[in-house]
Amino acid sequence: MVIWVAELSAKSVGKENVYIATDNEIIRDLVEEYGFQVVMTSDQALTGTDRLAEATELIRADIYINVQGDEPVLDPDDISRINEVKQENTGFIVNGYCWIGGAEDPHNVNIPKVITNEQDKLVYMSRCALPGFKDIKNIPARYKKQVCIYAFTSKELQAFKAFGRKSELEKSEDIEILRFLEMDIPVLMVETRGGSLAVDVPEDVPPVEEVLRRLHNRWK
């Protein structure tokens, strides 16, 4: 799965610009076998974003795009789009979202739900089904979910790591981007192609494999 995500990332930014950050030697060896670059980080990183902050100390760039290795059906065009939006909005963290599909349950705690204002700025992100409602007639017609493509500058990542702990909201929800809101750093959400599926638990594997089969047949 990690290799698949690396290959998708390479379609967007070129293989020479793809690095896999890990503290695991098995992953390192596999990644190098497939010709990708590896950055070995410590085993003390609190989150993937803290791990990326460590990696920036070894890799110098103006913008860092974090693509999580558990999203093997991402669209490379979405990676490029988030990169472009970050270049135009350097004062914001940039993150992806899409609408939850009909086969997905908005009450699934493995799917972070996204609340934005009308300018697509992040208001909150939660494991709960948000927005809520008081009257059944106002139940949301659909929900937004996070797509794990992020864009940062080195300064933003170093500030995140320097915070030194998980924020209270971040710890409760287990959603690391909430640390930026606690730090008063704004987050701009960018709509991506629908159909993104993450592999969080073993039950997530079969639907992802089905999507990958369809994509493979289409590309034949």
**Do residues 183 and 177 lie in contact, with contact meaning Cβ atoms separated by under 8 Å?**
no
The model's pTM = 0.87
For the segment 72-115, what is each residue's pLDDT rounded down to a tens digit?
778 899 999 999 999 999 999 999 999 998 888 999 999 999 99
Residues 123-130 have a mean pLDDT of: 97
Domains annotated for the chain, with CATH where assigned, are: 66-219 (3.90.550.10)
User: CA-CA distance, 59 to 57, in Å (whole number)?
Assistant: 6
Averaged pLDDT, 123-133: 96
Beta bridge partners of 97: 146, 191
Looking at 19-23, 166-170, 202-206, which range is the least confident one? 202-206
Residue 197, pLDDT score: 60
Mean pLDDT value of segment 128-149: 95
Residue 216 is predicted with a pLDDT of 54
